[in-house]
Structure 1
Amino acid sequence: MKTFQPQPGFVVQAYQFALDPNVTQEAALRSHCGAARAAYNWAVGWVTAAWWQRKAEESYGIPEAELTPWRPWSLPALRKTFNEVKKTDPRFADWWQENSKEAYNTGLANAAAAFDNYAKSNNGKRKGARMGMPRRKSKHHARLACRFTTGTIRVEPDRRHVTLPRLGTIRTHEKTRKLQRRIVNGTARVLSATVRHDRGRWFVSFQVEVKRETTKVARCDVTVGVDLGVKVLAVMADSAGEIRYIPNPAHYDSALKVIKRLSRRVCRRQGPDRRTGQKPSKRWLKANAERTRIHHRVANLRADALHKLTTTIGSEYGTVVMEDLNVAGMLKNRRLARRIADAGFGEIRRQLTYKSEWNRYRTVVASRWYPSSKTCSNCGAVKAKLPLHIRVFRCDGLDCGLVMDRDENAARNLAALAAACSTGTGVAGDLGTRVPKPRGADQKTRTTRQARKDPAGRAGGAKPTHSRTETRDLHQDTTTQLGLW
């Protein structure tokens, strides 16, 4: 899809409003979201059919030149083919005219992005975990969402209604004065609108190009290091010597007792069962809606607290230093996963990153391998080990003897990292400082040599073992154009 580049002085941000559709409008919303899912499933099936056909033909010994040609997955190609088959395909012929073309374009665009991400991940051009092949979306589990980029997309002057293509004018649950006032003044332009169903409610999000005045930070020459945690959400240590502790609101833990009680109530009532065709009872729907409201409230409280925290940090300091935390790996710890997810480490970093363009402050991300907690903020000595249950840092240096809270020490090191990166002094916090690795841990993957032994147990010649990066490169050289088989 088209990527919008904001003009100088403009930023692209979102305005979200809850909707109050009537019965007819809600049915139309579900129809559009279902059309997007159907177009996505068609694109996945159309592209992968050629892949499996080629694999079957290769098993029969058919030469490469005679194999079924690859089917393109770009958005223009998918859109062109879909427009040709939608009038004759029995899956769409009877009802495709009931929805806006933007609904089908949403599904095709999502499919094109999914295939592109899969190809890049399979070829080593995409960071993160290896992605699998795109799969069909289930009717019962897929999130209902649809995006509109053309047509009548308007915020009504009464500030209580929005107009969308083919859906008409829908009443909003809250006033839209924040966006409508900017549109009237000529400081905002709506680019697209996305409707989605989340936690039992319908929402509309407008992607808007907004003229935003750059806000100067209060202390542009002060650097702050932000160390995130579970017991204390954030410990901030700035270059001026000020230390601030931000307690963790723990919204989910506060509501956990009520959620458990409501969950037991839902389980005791007759719920839906797709295997037997059993319909949920009215008492189950009522109890489930009450539980959903609690989850929705917790999510809103968390989002409000994180926005207030990041806005406060971004409006005060000129340089913000954060950690590159492996949140996905941290969530695998079953003892801390719930509290880590409730804290929202990744959301804090995301908000600080995009808000830096609004207030023009600098963000520095420390390396994931930088030992901020193990390094003494006073003398620079680095501990070999520092278990997580030890919350007080005690320096092992003979002439230091620093005793400090573990998180405060890490925040001080992060604050010093910004100056070390710019000056390259080699002191504690510099990326070039060499630290001991007692367990041999390193972010680099090396080529190792493993000694071979004969059946008698005598050491023989060395057998080279390829590193992960080398193995991936060798795999790319031996695979086909898409790296699939």
Structure 2
Amino acid sequence: MGFLRSRTGTADPPPRRTGIHPNASAKTADRPVRILVVSRAVKRAFKYRFYPTDVQAAQLSRTFGCVRLVYNMALQARTEAWTRRQERIDYNATSAMLTGWKKTAELAFLNEVSCVPLQQALRHLQAAYTNFWARRAKHPMFKSKRRSRRAAEYTASAFRWRDGTLTLAKMTEPLSIVWSRPLPDGVSPSTVTVSQDAAGRWFVSLLCDDVITQTPATGMVGIDAGLDSLLTLSTGEKITNPRHERADRQRLARAQRDLARKQKGSANRAKARLKVARIQGRIADRRRDHLHKLTTRLVRETQAIVIEDLAVANMVKNHRLARAISDAAWRQFRTMLEYKAAWYGRDLIVVDRWFPSTRLCSACGALAERMPLGVREWTCPCGAVHDRDVNAARNILAAGLAVTACGDDVRPQRGTSRTGQSSAKQEDPRATKGIPVL
């Protein structure tokens, strides 16, 4: 168990590691030693909405289709080469294939769009295979016309950036972008990604070099994720779960019923599908906005953050809680914390998922036998009365301190549930040999 680093899209310098000095006293255990860093250079994407003209929309739609076709054809070629001849085809080979495809009469339309998004699709396929061979991901899958993301990536050679206007290759007019926030002063985008969501909205993402100013912060905080309260902090603060999906559940259900009654392939079905996508997009936007504000606040105010390693994919198999767990978006919350902690030079400590934070008494270290979900408050035999979530958050914080101070893996050892002790509370048996147990 160690410190996580975020994926910022570039080879950033390693994040600062702060922790407890081995000789620090218990009174200073909650004040990590900090090394001051003035700023940090990162790769940062700025996403904006834009409104294309009819000509631009047609050109981009054609580009999306060509990108999907080239990706699928390259994937098929690589799959057949391996299954038939046990041959691995790399990016250079698929790039040569693309040149040959453009010269055929059947695929001559590939020349009507910019070649850069097509080459980028082959690079994305190469990255997918690299992750597959490294056992970090499953085998690449074919892109679907209806279900896959509609996007195209342009490098610096395929767009023009002048005086705050963006013009893509094969286009004569710049994109009409709604600048909801300014770009960093004096920067130019290195990569531009154009996408369209299921609701028909157009977005452009500009990847730029940015400098994150390091702000001072102190202290550590443990976080327990839940459903009644989205987050419970070790300080006792509870952050309400906004339940964005529940707020629009009736509208969404009505729109989905209307969609189910429409005939497949009809224009009315396309309109009904668009209405459903807009409601779902509204839910996702509100959830993302709330998580961004929440994670930014936590990262700016706290030097070290301790969270649990939740197995969300397994938890959603509980069909009674799957909808609520998905609406809470714990995985998205952790992803945001990871890259923002790296940006601001904070420490993110992840406690093992098997650590019994809920059943462990934060006062005496006793481990309860059972703790059903319906029990929100419980009393330990030592006399301490615990709020379920606050107690879990305090135990998570204590486990994070153990990781920082002595490198404990905070995973219960074999037989932990029988002895009633957590790994954070265990002592070396050689140090306590001969001392009677009370």
Q: Which range, TM-score by smaller chain?
A: 0.7 to 0.9
Which amino acid counterpart does residue 80 of structure 1 have in structure 2?
A
1:382, 1:435 within 8 Å by CA — same for their partners in 2? no
The alpha-carbon deviation at position 31 of structure 1 amounts to 1.1
Residue 251 of structure 2, aligned match among 258, 261, 278: 258
Task: Check 1:430–1:113 CA distance in 2 against 1; reply closer, same or farther (3 A cut).
Answer: closer
The alpha-carbon deviation at position 286 of structure 1 amounts to 3.8
The alpha-carbon deviation at position 433 of structure 1 amounts to 6.5
- 1:431 and 1:337 mapped to 2: Cα distance? 26
In structure 2, the partner of 1:105 is 119
Task: Check 1:207–1:286 CA distance in 2 against 1; reply closer, same or farther (3 A cut).
Answer: same
- 2:205 and 2:287 mapped to 1: Cα distance? 19
In structure 2, the partner of 1:463 is none
- 2:250 and 2:210 mapped to 1: Cα distance? 42
- 1:168 and 1:390 mapped to 2: Cα distance? 64
- 1:76 and 1:357 mapped to 2: Cα distance? 34
Which amino acid counterpart does residue 225 of structure 2 have in structure 1?
L
Residue 128 of structure 2, aligned match among 114, 118, 122: 114
Which amino acid counterpart does residue 355 of structure 1 have in structure 2?
K
- 1:393 and 1:76 mapped to 2: Cα distance? 63
In structure 2, the partner of 1:80 is 96
- 1:113 and 1:91 mapped to 2: Cα distance? 28
1:192, 1:207 within 8 Å by CA — same for their partners in 2? yes
1:216, 1:360 within 8 Å by CA — same for their partners in 2? no
The alpha-carbon deviation at position 205 of structure 1 amounts to 0.8
In structure 1, the partner of 2:67 is 36
Count of residues paired in the alignment: 385
The alpha-carbon deviation at position 145 of structure 1 amounts to 1.0
In structure 1, the partner of 2:295 is 310
- 1:434 and 1:51 mapped to 2: Cα distance? 44
Q: CA RMSD in A?
A: 2.5
Which amino acid counterpart does residue 387 of structure 1 have in structure 2?
P
**Cα deviation digits, residues 245-267 of structure 1 (max 9, x gap):** 00000011110011112222333
Is 1:210 aligned to 2:210, yes or no? yes
Output the TM-score relative to the length of structure 2.
Answer: 0.81
Task: Check 1:425–1:9 CA distance in 2 against 1; reply closer, same or farther (3 A cut).
Answer: closer
Task: Check 1:269–1:389 CA distance in 2 against 1; reply closer, same or farther (3 A cut).
Answer: same
The alpha-carbon deviation at position 197 of structure 1 amounts to 1.2
Secondary structure of the 1:147 match is strand
**Cα deviation digits, residues 69-113 of structure 1 (max 9, x gap):** 6142x3233223322x22444442x21211111121122122212
- 2:62 and 2:327 mapped to 1: Cα distance? 34
Secondary structure of the 2:221 match is strand
Percent sequence identity is 33
Is 1:5 aligned to 2:19, yes or no? no
In structure 2, the partner of 1:267 is 260
**Cα deviation digits, residues 31-82 of structure 1 (max 9, x gap):** 111111111111111112223323xxxxxxxxxxxxxx6142x323322332
The alpha-carbon deviation at position 202 of structure 1 amounts to 1.4
Residue 154 of structure 2, aligned match among 148, 159, 162: 148
- 1:154 and 1:418 mapped to 2: Cα distance? 48
Which amino acid counterpart does residue 409 of structure 1 have in structure 2?
N
Is 1:298 aligned to 2:315, yes or no? no
The alpha-carbon deviation at position 290 of structure 1 amounts to 3.0
2:355, 2:412 within 8 Å by CA — same for their partners in 1? no
1:421, 1:431 within 8 Å by CA — same for their partners in 2? no
Secondary structure of the 1:86 match is helix
For structure 1, the 5+ residue unaligned runs are 55-68, 273-278, 439-485
In structure 1, the partner of 2:140 is 134
**Cα deviation digits, residues 365-384 of structure 1 (max 9, x gap):** 10122111121100111223
Which amino acid counterpart does residue 200 of structure 1 have in structure 2?
G
Superposition pairs of residues 60-99 of structure 1, within 5 angstroms:
70-72=87-89, 74-83=90-99, 85-92=100-107, 94-99=108-113
**Cα deviation digits, residues 192-244 of structure 1 (max 9, x gap):** 01111113211111111112221222xx1x1100100111100001xxxx310
Is 1:225 aligned to 2:240, yes or no? no
Task: Check 1:141–1:361 CA distance in 2 against 1; reply closer, same or farther (3 A cut).
Answer: closer
Secondary structure of the 1:374 match is coil
The alpha-carbon deviation at position 436 of structure 1 amounts to 2.6
Task: Check 1:403–1:50 CA distance in 2 against 1; reply closer, same or farther (3 A cut).
Answer: same
Task: Check 1:4–1:76 CA distance in 2 against 1; reply closer, same or farther (3 A cut).
Answer: farther
- 1:288 and 1:82 mapped to 2: Cα distance? 35
Superposition pairs of residues 282-297 of structure 1, within 5 angstroms:
284-297=269-282
Secondary structure of the 1:190 match is coil
Greater mean alpha carbon deviation, residues 144-153 or residues 328-337: 144-153
**Cα deviation digits, residues 427-458 of structure 1 (max 9, x gap):** xx9557666346xxxxxxxxxxxxxxxxxxxx
Which amino acid counterpart does residue 231 of structure 2 have in structure 1?
A
In structure 2, the partner of 1:193 is 192
In structure 1, the partner of 2:391 is 409
The alpha-carbon deviation at position 346 of structure 1 amounts to 0.8
Based on CA coordinates, which of the two structures has the bigger radius of gyration?
Answer: 1
Residue 163 of structure 1, aligned match among 167, 171, 188: 167
Task: Check 1:355–1:298 CA distance in 2 against 1; reply closer, same or farther (3 A cut).
Answer: same
Is 1:422 aligned to 2:419, yes or no? no
Which amino acid counterpart does residue 363 of structure 1 have in structure 2?
L
- 2:120 and 2:83 mapped to 1: Cα distance? 25
In structure 1, the partner of 2:240 is 247
Secondary structure of the 1:5 match is coil
- 1:87 and 1:291 mapped to 2: Cα distance? 38
In structure 1, the partner of 2:310 is 325
Secondary structure of the 1:382 match is coil
- 2:11 and 2:406 mapped to 1: Cα distance? 35
- 1:107 and 1:315 mapped to 2: Cα distance? 37
- 1:177 and 1:385 mapped to 2: Cα distance? 50
- 2:319 and 2:172 mapped to 1: Cα distance? 47
The alpha-carbon deviation at position 271 of structure 1 amounts to 4.0
- 2:242 and 2:350 mapped to 1: Cα distance? 25
Which amino acid counterpart does residue 374 of structure 1 have in structure 2?
R
Secondary structure of the 1:363 match is strand
In structure 2, the partner of 1:373 is 358
In structure 1, the partner of 2:179 is 175
Which amino acid counterpart does residue 191 of structure 1 have in structure 2?
S
Output the TM-score relative to the length of structure 1.
Answer: 0.73
